[in-house]
Amino acid sequence: MTKNVKYANSEPVPQIATESSPQYISPQDYQQWRNQIVSLIEQAKLQAVLNVNKELLALYWQIGKDILQKQETLGWGAQVVEQLAKDLSVSFPDDRGFSARNLWNMKRFATDYPDFPFLQVPLADFNQYEILQVALAENPETCTGQIPLTIIEKNGEQFVQVQLAQITWYHHITLIPKIKSLVERAFYITETARQGWSRDVMLANITTDYIHTKGNAVTNFTSTIPPAHSDFARYAFKDPYCFGFIGTLSLKNEFEIEKKLTEHVTDFLMEMGRGFAFVGRQYHLMVDGDDYYIDLLMYHLQMHRYVVIELKAVEFIPEFVSKLNFYISAVDEYIKTSQDNPTIGLLLCSNKSNEKVRFSLRGFSQPMGVAEYEIKKIIEDIQDVLPDINNIEIDDE
């Protein structure tokens, strides 16, 4: 006889029993097996998408290479590409990926990436960027299971190799004209894949110079976090943060900003970066009979730390650090478990003096950082680089 039995705080789990010798499937065993099946299905679907993207990029690269070779060896001009676009539109009327503009994009793609399906940059160039050295040392796996950065040796020289198929064609044709440096492209390709950025989010991060803002917050991590983990912690934060997604309304106090950030929690988490999870807003703590409320409490999954975030809609003043230190101590005392690492604090201000921040953090044993946030400027910056709506041509993603 087969029946379903419901357990407290769990989903219905099938149990198999006979009248003579009941045999039960424990909830834990079933849920573990079910989760394995779900994971297999998700991996298979994701792999199918990745394979389609890889094949599309290979096709576009080959077409671009053919155009390049014909122009170099036979001297064919622009008119041939225009004619090819017309002919392909007749052969494939439902496919808008073979427009003249996209064919020129394919040529640029093949020209810039002769080592397809990889982008290869000299390790010496890569090491000029501290953030890239940290990324290479960390060498995390992306959500796709691919390792984004590998080192190879070619002709006696070491190269960092990045898989181009980690991002879509739509990302590539946006990235190529914006970033000339191949080293920086390698970084943005890797970060886009690791963090799951959409094309627009990637563009926003390029516009705000993400490669130079990441790890730019003023912190005391080198003196408060063990050396093996301090670099990773430092590059988990940036300066400035850009909260343009909350709109252009006049936000005059921390409460309004907190509310808007939590209303757009997905965008907020995307801006915070990979690994952050949202725990709560105005998180309540009681210390010695008095009530206290943390502006935003988060958790970092890779660092295994709570992150206390305090928002100030004014310029930084040293007194802010003492309050942040108090909240960090309270979280460590009342919330952190033995499996968690010590809590980190992040103070976000509308503007700051780095010198004042450094002096203020000196002497504190709690790990803390201070960064600025922007609201309106990011919207203005992106509007400056976005094309006019009348000039937009839709390409295949």
> Which residue type does 153 have?
E
The structure's pTM equals 0.72
For residues 224 and 358, membership in a common domain is answered with yes
Sort strands 241-242 and 276-287 into parallel, antiparallel or unpaired: unpaired
Q: Are residues 151 and 262 in the same domain?
A: no
Tell me, what's the pLDDT at 158? 92
Mean of pLDDT over the chain: 83
Give the pLDDT confidence score for residue 12 in this predicted structure: 52
Q: Which pLDDT tens digit goes with each residue over 278-319?
A: 999 999 999 999 999 999 999 999 899 999 999 998 999 999
Domain that holds residue 179: 118-214
DSSP code per residue over 1-31: -EEEEPPTTS--EEEE--SSS-----HHHHH
Q: What is the mean pLDDT of residues 331-348?
A: 96
Could you tell me if residue 34 is inside a domain? yes
Looking at per-residue pLDDT, the higher value among 45 and 83 belongs to: 83
- Supply the DSSP string of 150-206, one letter for each residue: EEEEETTEEEEEEEGGGS-HHHHHHHHHH---HHHHHHHHHHHHHHT--HHHHHHHH
Element (H, E) at 347: strand 341-351
What are the backbone angles phi and psi of residue 286, rounded to the nearest 5°? Answer: -115, 120
The count of domains in the chain is 3
121 vs 21 pLDDT, higher one: 121
Of residues 85 and 148, which shows the higher confidence score?
85
> Which among 229, 174, 244, 184 is positioned nearest to 209, based on CA atoms?
184
Residue 277 in this model has a pLDDT that exceeds 80: yes
Task: Tell whether the model's pLDDT for residue 19 goes beyond 80.
Answer: no
List, as one string, the DSSP characters of 64-107: HHHHHHHHHHH---HHHHHHHHHHHHHHSTT-GGGSHHHHHHHH
Say whether pLDDT at 228 is over 90.
no
Give the model confidence (pLDDT) of 145-156 as tens digits. 444 678 899 888
**Confidence (pLDDT) at 24:** 64
Does 210 fall in a domain?
A: yes
Specify if 111 maps to a domain: no
Backbone angles phi, psi at 358, to 5 degrees: -60, -45
Looking at residue 23, what is its pLDDT? 62
Q: What is the mean pLDDT of residues 45-50?
A: 74
**Would you say 307 and 346 are in contact if contact means Cβ atoms under 8 Å apart?**
yes
C-alpha to C-alpha distance for 219 and 364, rounded to whole angstroms: 11
The mean per-residue pLDDT over the stretch 329-353 comes to 95
CA distance 84 to 255: 58
| Residues 350-386 pLDDT 10s | 999 999 999 999 989 999 999 999 886 544 444 444 4
* 200 lies in the same domain as 231: no
Q: Is the pLDDT of residue 269 over 80?
A: yes
Q: Which of 160, 191, 214 is the last residue of a domain?
A: 214
Give the number of other CB atoms < 10 A from CB of residue 197.
20
* 203: nearest Cα among 256, 251, 244: 244
What pLDDT band is residue 223 in, cutting at 50, 70 and 90?
very high
Nearest to 348 by CA among 250, 257, 273, 256: 257
Cα 277 to Cα 301: distance, rounded to the nearest angstrom: 7
Q: What average pLDDT does the segment 174-187 reach?
A: 95
Check if the beta carbon of residue 219 is closer than 8 Å to that of residue 362: no
User: Same structural domain for residues 206 and 282?
Assistant: no
**Are both 252 and 201 inside the same structural domain?**
no
What's the mean pLDDT in 114-137? 86
Kindly state the DSSP code that residue 388 receives in the 8-state scheme.
P
**Percent of all residues in the chain with a pLDDT value above 70, rounded to a whole number:** 83
pLDDT for residue 376: 61
Last residue of a domain, one of 50, 65, 90: 50
Beta bridge partners of 298: 278, 307
For residue 369, is it within any domain?
Answer: yes
